[in-house]
Structure 1
């Protein structure tokens, strides 16, 4: 009888939870819509602000190493590669040359690694635990650094990624100025919001109106990605952790696929890789078991930029091209580095050595974070600017 008395209350509680979940998913959909609109605003604003001078504005970043540093530092400061790559997509739509943007998305991969590296510092009091946690965090760094070392010279010499991205983007377009035939509904759906914003801000005149519109778009990207990240964490992080526990240790392919899936669900490689740091620190999983999951996280984070590129105005084909370049770079990086036996565990060995060294001398960890993500990139950017 007591059980029967509690059933209505339990039913009401379940109904409220289900209603709350649906409201959260609707919120996610609305924020993704806002994100796509924001990227379109950035493209339109940047084009209006610069006219045909976009290339001259980013002349300092024509040097690919400067572009790499810009992407690294921007992502390290913002701690969101999704935000940075979405902004890059908008800038490309507004006239930023694709060749300049390619090293920037490579740098975004490096910069996003800082979050899980900072998370590992929470284990600093226990020597062995910190060694494992710091190794698990920095294996992501080393993989991304090795990937840049391999692919940036190839890109400089042959334009490999730029050509591949263009090849992948072309089937979606009937011509240089045509909109995406298969995804035109996205552009149509976002057009009312983007056009309203353009009418409001561009009425201020050029270049002020364009600058304000672009800045407004950037602010909307920050807002939408921050809020969608919070909602997805509430909705998915528990499930993501379950997927991790189920998939890690079942082999490299399972690890890569689960890393891709989890990052696609939570839309944050920083969150995904940070989830596994405590697991490594506690000794629940070895570094070699966690390593493939990290590689999948790199692939899963590309979805945001691809979505953002589906509805931009201006140079829409180039915007989709840079989004596909980011995806191609991460997929091919996994295939090459993990696929070749002599390269496969170089990031693991480097991370293990650094973890052991940092556990012996905690100042090494601080020096590493400041040096890799801020000091060295800042010095390189300064030297490049002076040159």
Structure 2
């Protein structure tokens, strides 16, 4: 028995180390892909970038683009990384901010779908659906409050600019002196880019963007799976230990869990079944949901480290916007008792309607993630 255990240990350790090595490689691919998107965008748009930005220049249109993209891809980390890459290619931060907010809403569709696993039992489904949609209502409320404020006063643009201003004060906005990623990504990007240029700047640039987006999707998907296999056990332990220790501990724990598993969807997916089965209450997991919003920002910040050139500072700025938006939303909404209760009441009301008529679920998902965004995009096109 001891010999078997001893023999199994090296195999287990070697498998674990292999997963960590794969994780490091996927992180490199993510950084590489963001550079590809930024480079491709610069090449493809050239002097015509402003024309392309006109479509998304309306904040509501930008919000819907972020929402729909995230709902389709099922990963706010992926969409945020793509946005960071686009900003690196010249997309104005002002235009990108609503997209970041939209990505926050779009990611909530995942845990709503997870709750459907309890649909056969009304009692379980009510609890599970409420625990899932509380994320929706919180993020919708955050956008309803902060998007108008951003449009009027540019709060997040100014705060994020202040955060990156120490780099601007040096007179070097390229972050060249700080960027240790460029030497390991630029040669590979150039090697991929050069053959594509035979198709012309526009086509070659678009192909580079497509390859970059595909690589981002692959890298984050594989990273998520690897992190789950390496960290989900630890994540569950953190979740279990944090119950009953207060909302601040819950928010911090939710952030840590999301950083560990590199997916806010995973964090919320861990919670929905626990609420559905009655192990936890909706109020117990509410703070974890907010922590998941904050923890998922790490991917965008990592992606920003891959950027170099004149727009590098703005890529970092938009990644910080994502973080600042989620931190401000958590402090403001959760910190004010009246606002704190609104997502709970909204989720509870919707779950009551859902158990009376399951068509409400389909109508809700279609309205929030398809009909309303599609209509707004059509009107603003």
Measured against the shorter chain, the TM-score band is: over 0.9
Query: Pick from 316, 320, 323: which aligns with 1:324?
Result: 320
Aligned-residue offset at 1:194:
2.3
Relative to structure 1, the CA distance from residue 180 to residue 249 in structure 2 (aligned partners, 3 Å threshold; closer, same or farther) is farther
For 1:163, the equivalent position in structure 2 comes to 158
Distance 2:195 2:287 in 1: 47
Does residue 108 (structure 1) correspond to residue 117 (structure 2)? The answer is: no
What root-mean-square deviation, in Å, do the aligned CA atoms of Structure 1 and Structure 2 show?
1.3
Structure 1's consecutive aligned runs of 4 or more residues displaced over 4 angstroms after TM superposition are: none
Tell me whether 165-174 or 84-93 shows the greater mean CA deviation.
165-174
For 1:178, the equivalent position in structure 2 comes to 174
Is the 2:174–2:308 contact (alpha carbons within 8 Å) kept by the matching residues of 1? Answer: no
Distance 1:52 1:306 in 2: 28
Does residue 273 (structure 1) correspond to residue 268 (structure 2)? The answer is: yes
Does residue 342 (structure 1) correspond to residue 364 (structure 2)? The answer is: no
Is the 1:49–1:206 contact (alpha carbons within 8 Å) kept by the matching residues of 2? Answer: yes
Unmatched segments (≥5 aa) in structure 1: 1-5
Distance 1:157 1:176 in 2: 30
For 1:139, the equivalent position in structure 2 comes to 134
Query: Pick from 348, 358, 379: which aligns with 2:354?
Result: 358
For 1:377, the equivalent position in structure 2 comes to 373
Is the 2:137–2:347 contact (alpha carbons within 8 Å) kept by the matching residues of 1? Answer: yes
TM-score with structure 1 length normalisation? Answer: 0.95
For 1:149, the equivalent position in structure 2 comes to 144
Is the 1:236–1:265 contact (alpha carbons within 8 Å) kept by the matching residues of 2? Answer: yes
TM-score with structure 2 length normalisation? Answer: 0.97
Distance 2:249 2:31 in 1: 31
Q: For 1:22-72, what per-residue CA distance to the aligned partner results, in whole angstroms no more than 9, with x for missing partners?
A: 110111111001101110110011000001222211211111000000000
Does residue 235 (structure 1) correspond to residue 209 (structure 2)? The answer is: no
Aligned-residue offset at 1:172:
3.5
Distance 2:63 2:174 in 1: 31
Is the 1:165–1:324 contact (alpha carbons within 8 Å) kept by the matching residues of 2? Answer: yes
1:40-51 aligned within 5 A? 40-51=35-46
For 2:7, the equivalent position in structure 1 comes to 12
Does residue 95 (structure 1) correspond to residue 95 (structure 2)? The answer is: no
Distance 1:22 1:76 in 2: 33
Q: For 1:150-194, what per-residue CA distance to the aligned partner results, in whole angstroms no more than 9, with x for missing partners?
A: 100011001111111111123245335432534x21222322222
Distance 2:47 2:292 in 1: 37
Distance 2:245 2:353 in 1: 30
Is the 2:126–2:351 contact (alpha carbons within 8 Å) kept by the matching residues of 1? Answer: yes
Unmatched segments (≥5 aa) in structure 2: none
1:32-47 aligned within 5 A? 32-47=27-42
Is the 1:133–1:280 contact (alpha carbons within 8 Å) kept by the matching residues of 2? Answer: yes
Tell me whether 134-143 or 238-247 shows the greater mean CA deviation.
238-247
Is the 2:176–2:308 contact (alpha carbons within 8 Å) kept by the matching residues of 1? Answer: no
Does residue 123 (structure 1) correspond to residue 115 (structure 2)? The answer is: no
Aligned-residue offset at 1:313:
3.1
